[in-house]
Amino acid sequence: MESLSTVHPAGPAAAIIATLWWVLLAGATAIFLFVTGLIVWAWRQPEGQRDARGFVIGLGLGFPLVVLAALLAYGLVVGERLLPRAGPDVVRVHAEGRQWAWRFGYDDAPGHRTENVLHIPAGRPVDVAITTADVIHAFWVPRLAGKLDAVPGHVNVLRIEADAPGRYDGLGSEYNGRGYRDHRFTVVAHDAAAWDRFLREETP
């Protein structure tokens, strides 16, 4: 389902995460194929030549460790790039999860609230301050960014951004009771004119 697909990114943060996913898949595949090849090679050696076990074990451990270390370093660099940073174009919104809905507020329109629909400007970074009114939830818009937990009494900040105007599906991705499957919301990314109109609307 493309609307919730992490490999069909529609924003810079999601694109970074999708690239990380493909890199990890490639690294895991390389380790699997290499180690499988070593096992097959060792298995096919004549009886008198099976003293190469040290060679096989060395490569079977050495190669995966090198690849895993490289993937770890790459993952740490990617994680650093995903951290929210201050900037003149950053929009700040608030997300409060509860059983079973999301309520959103907007710093650029104090007092404005929306239920289960988050409005953002397209092409601008948006910091979502995430919390919860009851139990632990998780805020996730797969095509725009990674997942971040909503923890009672705490605010976590997630940077999202949409490349283009449109509608993007989001969900509460932390199991927390019988209504969990329907704990969904929509992100509507507006062009500049539509965003200005939204901010000028009367508070619902």
pLDDT at position 204 over 50: no
Segments in 44-142 forming alpha helices (H)? 53-81
- Residue in the block written with tokens 């493909």: 22
Give phi and psi for 13, each to the nearest 5.
-65, -45
Q: Which one-letter DSSP state was computed for residue 48?
A: G
Q: Report all structural domains of the chain as residue ranges with CATH numbers, in order of start.
A: 2-81 (no CATH), 91-200 (2.60.40.420)
Give the pLDDT band (50/70/90) at residue 163: very high
Distance CA 108, CA 121 (A): 11
**Listing from the earlier edge strand, what are the strands of the sheet with 137-140?**
117-121, 184-190, 166-172, 137-140, 148-150
Q: What is the pTM of this model?
A: 0.78
196 Cβ contact partners less than 8 Å away, ≥ 6 residues apart: none
pLDDT (mean) for 177-188? 86
- What would the pLDDT profile of 18-62 be if each residue is shown by its tens digit? 998 898 899 889 889 988 887 787 777 666 555 556 666 667 677
Q: Which one-letter DSSP state was computed for residue 42?
A: H
Distance CA 157, CA 39 (A): 47
Q: Which one-letter DSSP state was computed for residue 165?
A: S
Q: Which one-letter DSSP state was computed for residue 203?
A: P
